[in-house]
Chain A
């Protein structure tokens, strides 16, 4: 049976007349190739599909899923969801979205690459080997790579609920990355290169390899600097890592559960005037774009922080009802095996028109960070932020030498207030969520070194 018809029929049956139900089918195909030193180490291909049923009755919710589409198993899954709902406790805010908003149809989000399915495994192997080759050929000091891999996915989602919503959506994504290892008399250094796109043809192997190699080589001979307070310039990789913690603090769930340093700050100024944060579920070619979210609510462009003021949170239906507001279309589903939860679609810091070199030349003494490592120094509740970092030291607006083995620390709320400038080079790094940042300058951070 066609999947859209199937989810509609199951949702109708699962509601049992007096309850609400939602049914999702997700079908994904993924491939992965991992190489090292010119040889394929591992290849995998996966075909995954399953159905998840959410039943809500009197504010009690149950969820059941299966990957078996045979009718007896589907029946059992429907009755499991209902039985689990009976065993949970009622919560007046637990409900499915109504049909008060219409879907915006016929908007091409450009998130599906019809050519991806025509690419052979040999093409993908050749692609990632070329990326590794580019890294090794970029500079004689690049001696090896690690984590050199190619990933792609094609995902189809079918969703229906007992209020009459039914929709489907398909998307693709291609990601390649590698770590280049460079060595000279001074020791060893590593750098990450990343390429990602919705469309296979837009990905360039040479760019991925050269990015990794360039970063590794420029860190050779890096040393810690003295412990001091100084401005930090975060490149998009470092900025996205920082923003991923801010994004988590911006979900209504974190705030309602008391796990966010932004608790009680809605409507207040939480950042400098340079900070404008947007979540856009309709971003053309965005990794997190879709016409509707994981509960069937239309996605939207939501201004979260404007001119430094916290205007809005990321809501799904449940957290929105708890706050007496409307869902922002941020219910996410990572697979058919789990409940929806509020999370970003495509969340990014708006860029300015300033070039990166202008931003760097405005700094008298500071650290340009190209790589950060989370060592467990993040406290989401009080906002304390401390990560391992490496990059380049800046004196009088010029790079003067590599820095490794330092920590950069601050408090996330203070860091947001201390964002003095942003550049024009917005880049999305969709490692877990689709988050983007331009290069940004943060004043007054503590750099921990010798």
Chain B
């Protein structure tokens, strides 16, 4: 829809002036225009087809350690003035700052869209979901249920602040996912296939979506033959890609500056120390093309960057947003993100991954006498500040004498993220990022990517079912 009904410099100046009328150190206005479409299929029927536009603005005023925020989805001048007055209410001081002249920030990053979402009718997108459903069911008669989902999300943002910052960004996300359920007797197993990223409909030309349906079905069917997982301490090889979610949850969050400033993170005050195996280099990088966590400017208007968090095992930097950086007198790293104009930004990961090492992935598996190979992680929980985690393994195999053997089910990995980072013994040369469906929840939902090469964790507790084979 027409986005030139978003506001411009003049309105922004008036709003910021009103927001600072009771004092305050800095005022900011964040304007967003977003258009999303979601189609979902279950029972072989496209049941939900929803499209929406969300347009609104939020005004934030910093005053010492306090920040006040007000937002509205009405962009009329009258409404924005009311929002500015609301945001100004808590600041009551002699401190008077002027709104400086705006200068539009430039970014060298391009995230081009070759084929915009409008290039395909909703009916064709629905047909794609029906095709995925048929392809998964055709793969094996034991596939009894398929859920497929298509979503597109175009988000345009503009930010101005009283220090003269003016930044604009556009983010386009596409996602296609298939979940297949296979059943034999009472046993039901799930398999997942997905593609997505920061790009347009060209994604569907580049990779074959039907292959994802077959992949989901194959994985669900394969797990029907799985044996109950063994329990106890053992070596675990985690394959490349999605396994990075474990480190995202169990290490990444503890490197976010709000946990650091509150002093509750295991990494507080440890910059310069060896916190991980020398084989580990952990990066957060919002500048990568086509990745879900990428942008030109974060939601504070700070340019995105490549941040070395841990370098050869040594802690180098945390992830900062503007508010936490102001509090600690540091520079923001472009990690300020918000779910929408209805929320205040907070420090968040973007695309976070462990860099490639030197080992051959096959050698890593060969080095294990008896252990577990994790191909796909399911759901999990982690204490974000301390890093204790429990993750379920949705697709895993036994390693016996250096070879993958039987598929196993019901396994979970239990441990502590920072401890695991210290113990990693081999890092593969096969770095891969996830296939484009990462969504991180920390009170607010934001799109992310995770990634890693194949890794060897020499010892970790595997929680199996009670029936030990």
Contact = CB atoms under 8 A, between A and B. Distances in A.
Contact of B50 (A39, A64, A89, A121): A64
B53 A43 contact: no
B342 interface: yes
A47 B53 contact: no
Contact of A67 (B53, B70, B86, B390): B53
A400 interface: no
B104 interface: no
Contact of A84 (B2, B50, B54): B50
Nearest to A91: B45
Contacts of A41: 65-67
A42 B68 contact: yes
A1 interface: no
A43 B48 CA distance: 36
Contact of B53 (A73, A81, A83, A88): A73
B325 to A, nearest CB: 17
Contact of A43 (B44, B54, B90): B90
A63 B39 CA distance: 10
A88 B126 contact: yes
B73 A48 contact: yes
Contacts of B71: 44-48
Contact of B121 (A73, A77, A87, A121): A87
B70 A44 contact: yes
B68 A83 contact: no
B145 to A, nearest CB: 9
Contact of A121 (B44, B45, B89): B89
Interface residues of A, number: 43
A168 interface: no
B122 interface: yes
B72 interface: yes
A32 to B, nearest CB: 9
Given A46-B342, A73-B1, A40 B66 contact: yes
Contacts of B125: 87
B86 A45 contact: yes
A217 B73 CA distance: 44
Interface in B19-78: 39, 44-56, 65-75
A375 B381 contact: yes
B56 to A, nearest CB: 6
B123 interface: yes
A279 B53 CA distance: 34
A39 B90 CA distance: 11
B405 interface: no
A375 to B, nearest CB: 7
B89 A43 contact: yes
A91 B72 contact: no
Interface residues of B, number: 46
B368 to A, nearest CB: 29
A85 B72 contact: no
Nearest to A85: B49
A76 interface: yes
Question: Which of B82, B86, B130 has the largest count of A CB atoms less than 10 A from its CB?
Answer: B86
Interface in A314-339: 337-339
Interface string A44-82: 111111101000000001111111101011001100110
Interface string B364-405: 000000000000000101000000001000000000000000
Nearest to A33: B90
A273 B49 CA distance: 44
B107 interface: no
B421 interface: no
Interface string B100-128: 00000000000000000000011101100
A67 B52 CA distance: 9
A352 B212 CA distance: 56
B121 A45 contact: no
B72 A87 contact: no
A70 B52 CA distance: 15
A40 B73 contact: no
A87 B56 contact: no
B5 interface: yes
Interface in A85-100: 85-89, 91
Contact of A64 (B46, B52, B89): B52
A76 B1 contact: yes
A187 interface: no
Contacts of A264: none
8 contacts: A44-B70, A47-B82, A48-B72, A67-B54, A68-B53, A84-B122, A125-B90, A337-B54
Interface of B: 1-2, 5, 39, 44-56, 65-75, 79, 82-83, 86-87, 89-90, 121-123, 125-126, 130, 342, 344, 379, 381, 390
